[in-house]
Structures are given as C-alpha cells and as structure tokens.
Structure 1
Amino acid sequence: MSVPAALLVAAGAAVGAPLRYLADRAVQARHATPFPWGTLAVNVTGSAILGFLTALPAGPGAMALLGTGFCGALTTYSTFGYETLRLFEERARAQAVANAAVSVTAGLGAAWLGMVSAGAL
C-alpha cells in the first residue's frame, strides 16, 4: 500500500518548515545587519538539495517527500520578496538589489552544483 502524495508532502514540510525557521534565526543572529542572511542561506541550501534530488533517479514518492515537501518548506520565496521590499522601504536600496541579485544567482548556481554533484555519483 502506498502513502498518498499529499501526506508525503506534509511530512516533508513538517521537517522543512521548522528547520528553515531555526536555520534562519541561527544565521541571522550572527549578523548585525538588516541584510537577510538567514533567508539567503536557506534558499541557497534548498536550491542545492533540490538540484541534487532532481538529478537522481528518485521516484514520485521521494520527490513528493523531499522535493516538494522538505525543500518547498525549507526555502521561502515569499520571505525573500518581503525582505527585499523591506530593504527598499528602509532606504537600503543597494542591499535590496544585492539581495535580489545574489539570491537568484546563488540559487541557480547551487541548483546546478547539486545536479552536477548527483550526476557524479
């Protein structure tokens, strides 16, 4: 009997969401700046993990649990968007532009590195 995909997604998210919160707070606590280092760290890490997973011959159950559930909850586009706009509102426009550019570039690079790493196995 197979587990429904929605339950696998929920199980992965139940681990990914608290891990995102804890990792974000731990990273951000080390920086005395409004730049969202914690969000950047979890988004880049999640991108690398998802890139790795997509390059593996994983079945739909594993992708529901780890890809959609865990990585979907670990990473956060909405917080990235909010924090970027907050930087603009606080007149930290250079940091806002840097956040957007670095987040997209590093996320894509991390996903690519994850895929390459999985392909090397």
Structure 2
Amino acid sequence: MTGLPEKERAGSGARRAGRPRVLTRGQLPVVAVVAAGGALGAGARYGVALLLPTTADGFPWATFAVDVAGCALIGVLMAVVVDAAVGHRLLRPFLGTGVLGGFTTLSAYAGEADALLRAGHAATALTYLVGTLAAALSAVWAATVLTRRTILRRRV
C-alpha cells in the first residue's frame, strides 16, 4: 500500500480491463493532424519510389534516400521546435509524427534487406542495413547541430 489513490498508483494511462480507450476532445486534433501528415508523408515516399525504382537485386536507393533525408528533417524540426520554441502545439505531431513518420519507413527498410538476403545478395543487404543506419544517424546529428548553430547566430 503506497497511500495513493488507486488511480494514481495505476498511472495516468491506466484503464480497466475490457474497456476500450476513448479519445478525449483534446486528443482528436492531434490524431487528425498525425493522420493528415502521415498521408502526405506516405504519398511523398511513394513518389520517390516511383522516381527511383529498385531492381530485385539492386541497392534500394529510394528507401535509403527517404530515410536519410527524413532523419535530417527530423533533426531540423526538433531543433527548431525545441531550441527556437517555434510553432503551434500541433506542429510537431503534424510534421514529426505525421509527415516525417509517414515519409520514413522502417518496414520497407527491413523488408528490402530481407528480400536481398533471401535472393542471395547478403553483401548488398548488409551494406544497405549498416549504410542506412550510419547515414541516418549522421544526418539527424548533423542537421540538428547545424540548425542549432543557425538559431544561436540569429539570436545574437
């Protein structure tokens, strides 16, 4: 016994077994902007895939480009939203979770690597897996650092 009411002990996100979670009025705008942003991001990703088609045994350049560019944009967005304190409360869910979440694609990344492995192209699959991870992490780091420097210079 902790001395706290049951609701507080269970945590703010707790719900009773068997009851569906119901969205509150405050959550509906967030869900709406995430859905709209996700549709835009997924559409943009599809457009890049059409521009950069991948052969069965080729390096998946479209997904690689989308994931690296998306990570760079996430770095810019987070620096702007956090460091510059810019934007409406729905900006981050719309752009970050919605647009960039729909644009970047972990499922395609994993699926393409798996397809390359199954087709006997282990070296290409490994290069793709490691290269995407290294490039995406580098992109988000570099974009965050450069954006923060730009924000700091403008404040002075």
TM over 0.5: yes
- Equivalent in the alignment of 1:24: 49
Give the alignment's TM-score, normalised by structure 1: 0.90
- Equivalent in the alignment of 1:109: 138
Q: 70-79 or 20-29: which moved more? A: 20-29
Match of 1:76 among 99, 105, 108: 105
- Equivalent in the alignment of 1:55: 79
Displacement of 1:33 after TM fit?
5.4
Q: 3-12 or 64-73: which moved more? A: 3-12
Displacement of 1:27 after TM fit?
2.1
Q: Secondary structure at the residue paired with 2:59?
A: coil
Match of 1:92 among 96, 108, 121: 121
**Structure 2 stretches lacking a partner, 5+ long:** 1-25, 151-156
Displacement of 1:46 after TM fit?
0.4
Identity over the aligned pairs, expressed in percent?
A: 34
Q: Distance in 2 between matches of 1:83 and 1:101?
A: 13
- Equivalent in the alignment of 1:38: 62
Q: Distance in 2 between matches of 1:48 and 1:69?
A: 15
4+ residue stretches of structure 1 with deviation over 3 A?
none
Q: Distance in 2 between matches of 1:101 and 1:70?
A: 25
Q: Distance in 1 between matches of 2:135 and 2:119?
A: 24
Q: 77-86 or 54-63: which moved more? A: 54-63
Q: Secondary structure at the residue paired with 1:51?
A: helix
Give the alignment's TM-score, normalised by structure 2: 0.70
Q: Distance in 1 between matches of 2:76 and 2:43?
A: 22
Displacement of 1:55 after TM fit?
1.0
Q: CA RMSD in A?
A: 1.9
> Which has the higher Rg, Structure 1 or Structure 2?
2
| Residues paired across the two proteins, number | 119
Q: Distance in 1 between matches of 2:141 and 2:78?
A: 10
Structure-2 change in CA distance of 1:58 and 1:24 (3 Å): farther
Structure-2 change in CA distance of 1:58 and 1:33 (3 Å): farther
Q: Distance in 2 between matches of 1:58 and 1:109?
A: 24
Contact 1:27 1:38 in 2 (8 A): yes
